[in-house]
A and B are shown apart, each in its own frame.
Chain A
Amino acid sequence: MRRAVIIFTAVLGFLFTSLGFGATSALAEGETLQGTLINAGQPVAGVVIKVADEGGSSIGDSTSGADGKWSVGVPGPGTYKVDLDTATLPQGVTVTTGRSSLTLSVFEGAARNVLFPLGSAAAPGAEEQEEIPGSSNLSRVLDLVYTGIHFGLIIALAALGLSLIFGTMGLTNFAHGELVTFGALMAFLFNVTANLPLWVSVAGAVVLGGLFGWLQDRFFWGWLRGRRTGLIGMMIISIGAALMLRYLFLYFFGGQTRQYADYVAQPGIDLGLIAVAPKNLIMDAVAIVVLIIVSLALVKTRLGKATRAVSTNPSLAAASGINVDAIIRLVWMIGGALAALSGAMLGIFQGVNYQMGFQILLLVFAAVTLGGLGTAFGALLGSLVIGLATQLSTLIIPSELKNVGALAVLIVIILVRPQGILGRRERIG
């Protein structure tokens, strides 16, 4: 159970703060501790949360509102003790970890999310385990390995589409992150605004993501190809598109990070040394199945073969009767759908935000470059390496710098092996 709390707080807290890639990240508002109290999908109001500093003197307190949210501003970065007053919880509701008091550090300028998983006292799992405080090193490493693989799979879904688009039309698409955000936002629209179950919402988001990718190529990128726009010109156009889409998302969705309605604070199930929330395992399984299907389709089917032919040599592919434009459009559709799935998974993992796609875009680029630009399987391999590298690097360096580690790996690889792990020499010249 404690592992789940760590995964969640690590994700919610650190990813928001240290993944704050955006130049406009709204992190400079002063340090806060905040959270949302939810029991069985319903917000819990009227619960008192007290915050004290290391010396034990009180900083402030907050009562959760009708939406379950609470937040306490703290004077500066440092370590704080957060107490949930269990007496103010509704009848029969407890903190399922049994730990109503947490000690957390708050970074400079960061709003730290604090998770108190709530459940009814009688529910199974409430008495699950009284874990011994102080985690073993092995389980911490395993935990990071799991999170790394999980994050790597999310990156891989986005990276595969990016790599296919690069391979077939040569475009380094800086607006791919916005396809990821689009998926997360559409899932949010279905799930929270339209009150559909999460799995229906995700499926809907994937369909809409594929449609969005198809429409983009049908009405925009295909048109630019027809006008013989240069590749570098298109690359800068994609930057403009990314900027425009990102701020359209901000316009319609707002600047805050929001959660899906279902499975927000799902307790973990015990897997020996680590505990993982079932939703994460289900997401992993879906991602793996989807990646295998797409990879098999690339290798086995005629369309897959045509796609690889276009990647290798578009003119030769066209000369042998392959409709290059149709293949590129198909690739945009698949890329959009995969990115939408990635976005929905990322949204389940860390919440929905208008710049979430932009925030992982550089890691996706790193993964794609690492595996070899334009190679589909390289992108999968590169994603897992990047996912594991970001997580495992926290064993050595502060977790706020984990992305620095991943990006530094990218630069080192380019120095040593510019074509990437699976790339071919002639592609870089």
Chain B
Amino acid sequence: MDSLIQVRNLCIDFGEKSVLNHVSLEVSKGEIIGLLGANGAGKTTLLKLLSGLLEPTEGQVTVSSHNPWNERDKVLKHLGILIETPVFYEHLTAYENLSIHLEYMDVKADIDKILSLVGLDDAKDKQVSKFSLGMKQRLAIARCISHKPKMLLLDEPINGLDPVAIKDIRELFINIKNNGTTIILSSHILSEILQTAESIVIISNGNLQQLGSIDTLKEQHRDEIENYLIERMRG
């Protein structure tokens, strides 16, 4: 399979604190990778490094054969990014927010269709400042997928969503993945990762703890899989 992301000996320090230590991994085209870790483990930092929002202290990252920090224009057009709490132009409507995003991405798309995919078709003319947390999260997902990126980097994408929306969004991710898009899904919710992802990466205190297929892990650990993963998250 083609490697879309290659990470080799990646390290990043914030002052004296080492946040990621010699992390190496490869991600192939068209799979969903679950990125698991406790709060502060380094998941968001890894996603920021992949999106060129941080410069590594050491090591190499390539996304679609480009360095995200030095060639960010080339990398960013292939990425759909949802990192931390989504930010919008709050005084504009959902439709206007997506329209501006698409202009920046130099892409034309059917905004009505995208909004209906995340269940926001009725709220397209509503100002984002009047949105609930869950609606903002759905709009952020819509923005991520609107320009049809090769890869989605999603940090806690189901935050603030109700169970129905979680189910719908999970199905949406699987559909997108079936169309050849790679998804890296970061979460600290084990059940979510186990239901959505195909492979798993565990980060604990900046170290890579586990890398492998969920099916294999399920086979090896059966009913004890959650306990096993929690142990690995502890480091």
Q: Bound pair: A and B?
A: no
